[in-house]
Amino acid sequence: MSPRRVTAPGLDGVRALAVILVVAFHVAPSEMPGGYVGVDVFFVLSGFLITAVLLEDASSQMRFDLPAFWTRRARRLVPAATLMIVVVAALTLAVGRDTGAGLRAQVLGGLTWTANWVQVAGGWAYAEQGEPSVLNHLWSLAIEEQFYLLWPLLLAVGLLLLARRRLAVVVVALALASVVLMSVLYDPADPTRSYVGTDTHVFGLLIGAALALTRVPHLLRTDGSATSPAKRAVITWIGVAGLVVIAWYAASVTWSSAWPYRGGLLVASVAALALVLAAANPTPLATLLSIPPMRWLGSRSYGLYLWHWPLIVFATRLAAPEHAVAAGMVAVLLAGAAAELSYRYVETPMREDGIVLTLRRWVAPVGWLVVERRHPRHRWVVTLGTACVVVAGAAFAVGTAPDRSALQASLLRGQKVLAHAADPVVEQAPKAAASALGATCRTVGKTVRVSAFGDSVLIAAAPALVKAMPRLDATAEVGWQYGDVARAVRRAAARGELGKVVVIGTGTNGVIDRKDLQRLVRRQLRDKQVLLVSPHVPGRSWQRPASSAVRRVAADNDNATLVDWQRAASRAENVLATDRVHPNAEGARVYTRTLRSALGDC
């Protein structure tokens, strides 16, 4: 007899909410800057459900049947993910070779459920805007699968030594240790290690597990008799508060800010815990989360999560930059269709009937599309032939995939150039003040030292910049936003390491704080000649406000000059890389000419 399961319909609604947040973040990150919190909602829910299942198994069978548990998890997760990986790998051949950059490592990480550690070992920036990896999203599934592998063993040992509630306290302590480790390992220049590490991001799963340890006996009574009306009312309002916090977080907390890594994600996880508690009890909020559309989406959330990201990457690569959001929405619709097919023909039959019987059933739907019903053997041929073509294409794509895309190679060259550029030299501020404002394109970077600060666009332009301006020293990182650039400028100013001319190029990855930029130019850079580069990020919702901020600050300050890279990149031909944001070799020369000509006399 199979063990009972916690069957609260509201939990499907929590899944639906989580996947909506993640998909919205990937399609329109400016409108939903904190939508990545959906992953943490998933973590809390998964930790709760998996622990609940294990506890129910132990209750009904008087033991943990770990092989059966791991078999169920493998049937549930592995076939659908493997199919997605194979199809996506094959599709990179059609979309463009650069989309398959680093594919060998990505596929290895995806198939072994170590994608998060592969990203860390490979030095991939999780939030890189340029050319994101098609399997970048598998890091979270890797954390979950690693948890599913280890947690049953730890739980079994823990229950032998401690009562449930005491074990829950220990689990909460472990979660807090994970939060502390995330804060300690946080690196503002690239938070990837602290974000995707299993040790640093397991706290959501542990928090959910702690809830299951304290609440599962009460949740098994689905008639609601275990919860009084007064308690249900309290739980409802707790859940509503959690939902409000999650909505606020999703709408306002950016991934690049420091707060998520210093307690913000813990706050979000506690809010998700409150939501899960309300959804798992017979409350009005659970009823709302149980409406048919939410249950439908929740039951297909795994497939939607698997497919949405690679299809968004493909769609935005093929579409014009100004149509990026529309392309992303089309990709989501296609992902929804793929998720439905995955749910019907992969996930459900694999979970219920096993692999062999499911493979037999796959023959009819595929072959039926091509061969008449009276030729069943032909359906096998068509099905196996189709599968062989896809697998062969995937194998060829993986075997021939470049280690880096053209853009990544360009950025690597730029980083090497900047690393060999002149080291910072302390300038005499009083002497610099008089000569800085008189710098021209004939002297800047040659006899007048230039300090440049920016993001990956500056890195891509570095070879041409350094060649034209030997006295350039630059500070730039892939993925930097305005706040990162501003902090770097202020640190250099405080140490007296700024040149007579200061270049600020930002806005590639997000909005620019106009008021803070104004203060920066008027205070820390008041005795410098400042060149403000307008960002060129077509199709990004923040281009207009970011460009407006740069132009206004340049117009309002006598010591600031606009470098109109946005205009130059829009008008010139064949100056941008495949992402239509970063300059290629010719674009780097145009960037350099635009910067130097902004000083006049060219």
Residue 432 pLDDT grade (very low, low, confident, very high; cuts 50, 70, 90): very low
> 309 versus 378: which is more confidently predicted?
309
Pairing verdict, β 560-563 and 529-533: parallel
Residue 597 pLDDT grade (very low, low, confident, very high; cuts 50, 70, 90): confident
Instruction: Give yes or no for a contact between 419 and 579, defined as CB atoms under 8 angstroms apart.
Output: no
> 398 versus 552: which is more confidently predicted?
552
Please determine, for residue 239, whether its predicted confidence score (pLDDT) is greater than 90: yes
Which three-class secondary structure state does DSSP give residue 474?
strand
Which three-class secondary structure state does DSSP give residue 397?
helix
Largest CA distance in the chain: 92
Residues 502 and 554: their CA atoms lie apart, in Å, by 13
Instruction: Give yes or no for a contact between 222 and 8, defined as CB atoms under 8 angstroms apart.
Output: yes
> What is the pLDDT at residue 446?
59
Please determine, for residue 114, whether its predicted confidence score (pLDDT) is greater than 50: yes
Average pLDDT of the residues of the chain: 85
Specify the domain boundaries for CATH 3.40.50.1110 within the chain. Answer: 406-597
> What is the pLDDT at residue 375?
53
pTM to 2 decimal places: 0.83
Provide the token pair at 77: 């997760």
User: Which tens digits make up the pLDDT trace of 500-553?
Assistant: 999 999 999 888 999 999 999 999 999 999 999 999 998 777 888 999 999 999
Please determine, for residue 425, whether its predicted confidence score (pLDDT) is greater than 60: no
Residues 126 and 139: their CA atoms lie apart, in Å, by 10
Please determine, for residue 378, whether its predicted confidence score (pLDDT) is greater than 60: no
Please determine, for residue 3, whether its predicted confidence score (pLDDT) is greater than 50: no
HEC per residue, 381-394:
HHHHHHHHHHHHHH
User: Which tens digits make up the pLDDT trace of 187-222?
Assistant: 887 889 999 999 999 999 999 999 999 875 455 444
Residues 136 and 528: their CA atoms lie apart, in Å, by 41
Give 466's contacts (C-beta < 8 A, 6+ positions apart). Answer: 417, 418, 421, 472
One-letter amino acid of 419: A
> What is the pLDDT at residue 62?
63
User: Which tens digits make up the pLDDT trace of 461-513?
Assistant: 999 999 988 888 899 988 888 988 999 999 999 999 999 999 999 999 888 99
> 155 versus 3: which is more confidently predicted?
155
Region for 96 from its dihedrals, namely left if φ exceeds 0, alpha if ψ lies in -120 to 50, beta otherwise: left
> What is the pLDDT at residue 112?
96
Instruction: Give yes or no for a contact between 189 and 491, defined as CB atoms under 8 angstroms apart.
Output: no
The proportion of the chain whose per-residue pLDDT surpasses 70, expressed as a percent, equals: 85
Give 392's contacts (C-beta < 8 A, 6+ positions apart). Answer: none
What is the dihedral angle through the alpha carbons of 329, 330, 331, 334, rounded to the nearest 10 degrees?
130
Average pLDDT over residues 112-135: 80
Residues 534 and 126: their CA atoms lie apart, in Å, by 25
What superfamily does domain 406-597 belong to in CATH? SGNH hydrolase (3.40.50.1110)
Average pLDDT over residues 289-314: 96
Average pLDDT over residues 382-398: 73
> 148 versus 391: which is more confidently predicted?
148
Please determine, for residue 131, whether its predicted confidence score (pLDDT) is greater than 90: no
Pairing verdict, β 450-454 and 472-476: parallel
